[in-house]
A = this chain, B = another copy of it.
Amino acid sequence: MRAMNTNVTIGVYGLGRFGSFWARELVKHGFRVIGYGRSAQHAPEGVILGTEDEVLATDVLFFCVSISAFSQVLESTSSRITPSTLVMDTCSVKIYPAKLMKQKLSPLVNCIATHPMFGPDSGKFSTEGLPMVLCPVNCSQELFQEWVEEFSKWKLHVLQMSCEQHDREAAWSQGITHFVGRTLSELSLGETQLATTGYRTLMSIVEQTCNDPLQLFYDLQRYNPYAKQMRMGLKGALDTVMQALKDQEKVQ
């Protein structure tokens, strides 16, 4: 196992809720981290606040921008990214950003599509055992393995898979969870003394999904090509249960 050279400087482009969290995680694991955010006033703890150009010139550059912003961001930055920088995105869908990186980055620039499947809520106390997906896009096997090993050292559950497989499975796990969370949130369900254990669990779904920006929800649903099928499936299941109740009433 090759040890990661922690003298590399890592750039985090985008210091929103996730980017700030991710930059701190990188600092925790011994990296020098420069962060840039369009409207960032101060850097997260341990992170150096840099200019856009400084971040684009780092050895390893993580884009932590919303899925829907990624196209424009790459458009305006790719000419300044040189082959000495390894680029990784952290979007919650993978087919779409991987395609953008292939289109907009020079073929000489190495890139890996990643999805850290946790954030400031689920990774608040520890990220141990949480899933970290890595999909090769344009990168040598050796460099790819280096990052598999690095994230494994963080005790993340590193999963190597195609962007295709990621999006298909994520639609039916993360995607459906966010959809159910947002739907329940619409109902503004409140505290009740009658809360069963199951109801408390249901309420925690809302907390676990609606703390994230609404934009993430829209993007997850819109840019994952399998999300529509999932939503139709969920609606169909609801109709099936409604119909079963009606049939049951007829019988009795």
Seen from chain A, the residues whose Cβ lies within 8 Å of a Cβ on chain B are 68, 117-118, 121-122, 130-131, 133, 157, 159, 166, 169-170, 172-174, 176-184, 186-187, 189, 192-199, 201-202, 204-205, 208-209, 218, 221-222, 231, 233-235, 237-238, 240-242, 244-245, 248-249, 252
Contact = CB atoms under 8 A, between A and B. Distances in A.
Given A159-B193, A183-B237, 20 more contacts: A117-B194, A117-B196, A130-B196, A131-B195, A157-B193, A166-B194, A169-B193, A173-B189, A176-B189, A177-B201, A180-B184, A180-B202, A182-B241, A186-B237, A186-B240, A187-B233, A187-B234, A197-B208, A201-B204, A231-B245
B248 A183 contact: no
Given A189-B172, A189-B176, A130 B183 contact: no
Contacts of A202: 176-177, 180, 205
A206 to B, nearest CB: 10
What is the oligomeric copy number?
A: 2
A196 B92 CA distance: 11
